[in-house]
Amino acid sequence: MMKRQILLLLALLLIAGAAIYFGTRRPSGTGHSPQPGPSDAATLEPAGVDPADKNFNPGWIGAACRHDSECNYEGGFCLLNEEGFPRGYCSARCQKFCPDRKGDFYSVSFCIEDPSHGSQGICAARCNLHLTTSGCRPGYICTSVRRLAGEAVRLACLPMQGTPAPPTPCTRKLTSLGLAYARPDFADTPSRPARPGDPIPDQEVCQIDTPVLLSSPIHTVDYREKLQRHAEHLLVACKLALAIERLSEILAKMEVVEVQHNGTYNCRGVAGSSSLSGHGHAKAIDITGFELARSGPVSVEKHWHAKGSSESKFLLDLAARLRKAKIFDVILTPAGGSRHQDHLHLEVR
């Protein structure tokens, strides 16, 4: 009797084990596979997909796509791989301007000439070093382009042509200093007067010697252009990038956390003359203010002449340190005339 009970118990255990095994086994062959769970997601990614493709403007202008439905916004369509856009490129038609999507994790857009239909415009994504280390998706490069039916020139992400620019002694120095930067494809552009009525500069084109997009922060110091909400990259000649690195080292010691500026590259002449400005070579930066960690904002326009104030002392001290360090070949302040009452003009030559 006891032996029969033991055999019955063993049989029940074998049946239970088989039920557990076959109940949890995934079907194979022609049967349907179960829906993947979170742990299965990584195995479903196509081989070789770069994370930058997924993180750059997902579902928006400039994003990777395979068909129009993946560009899910008004007027959206997909520029395909066979049209010269690696792994697809979401875009939209435009006449002069393009929409922007709210949020800090999307680059702004820019209306350019359609390379396939010159009379029409398409929206392109502007370069953004906050999204990827190159400012664009893999296979794309920051390229200077003119706005459709306009004069503005901006850097937008377009398919890379040819091979990347080789490193130079200057860019190797940037790398050794640990600076984050990208090498854009920047075409020469015609120069223009600084102000209406000024003569056209003698040098008809603006050229940048080894252009780089320098990313903030630098030595914990952010650089934010006027009217921009956040710090962005600086388009500068490599030589100015090295100077800005040394400037940032000084500013960090003076407890500066942010620099406000009016820009670096600007293809124009010196106001009131026929000479091309240092901005036309991206070798100058105009600084309008600073944000200090402890004492708050300092404005060049408001505080330079506020004698005796802590802000004025800060500005005078900074100018003296820069002259002593000999980082810049040209340092123009409000003390030098009416054209620089609201900024410090710092230039290398």
Q: pLDDT (tens digit, 9 = 90+) per residue, 18-68?
A: 444 434 333 333 222 233 333 333 333 444 568 888 889 999 999 999 999
Handedness of CA 6, 7, 10, 12 (dihedral sign): negative
- DSSP class of residue 82 equals G
Q: Round to whole Å and give the CA distance between 137 and 308.
A: 51
Q: Which residues pair with 5 in a beta bridge?
A: none
Q: With respect to CATH, is domain 165-349 assigned 3.30.1380? A: yes
Specify the domain boundaries for CATH 3.30.1380 within the chain: 165-349
Structure tokens at 253: 């010691």
Structure tokens at 21: 């095994």
Give every CB contact of residue 85 below 8 A, 6+ residues apart in sequence: 79, 159
Helix (H, G, I), strand (E, B) or coil at 234: strand
Q: Round to whole Å and give the CA distance between 93 and 263.
A: 30
CA nearest to 293, candidates 250, 252, 248, 344? 252
- pLDDT attached to residue 152: 86
Q: Round to whole Å and give the CA distance between 83 and 159.
A: 10
**Tens-binned pLDDT, residue by residue, of the chain (349 aa):** 444 554 454 455 444 454 444 343 333 332 222 333 333 333 334 445 688 888 899 999 999 999 999 999 999 999 999 999 999 999 999 999 999 998 877 999 999 999 877 678 999 999 999 889 899 999 999 999 999 988 888 999 999 988 888 999 999 999 999 999 999 999 988 888 988 888 888 877 899 999 999 999 999 999 999 877 778 899 999 999 999 999 999 999 999 999 999 999 999 998 888 899 999 999 999 999 999 998 899 999 999 999 999 999 999 999 999 999 999 999 999 987 667 789 999 999 8
Specify burial of residue 20 (Cβ count, 10 A radius: 0-12, 13-18, 19+): exposed
Judge whether 263 and 279 are in contact, CB under 8 Å: yes
Q: Round to whole Å and give the CA distance between 205 and 207.
A: 6
Q: Which residues pair with 109 in a beta bridge?
A: 125
Structure tokens at 16: 């239970």
Whole-structure pTM value: 0.80
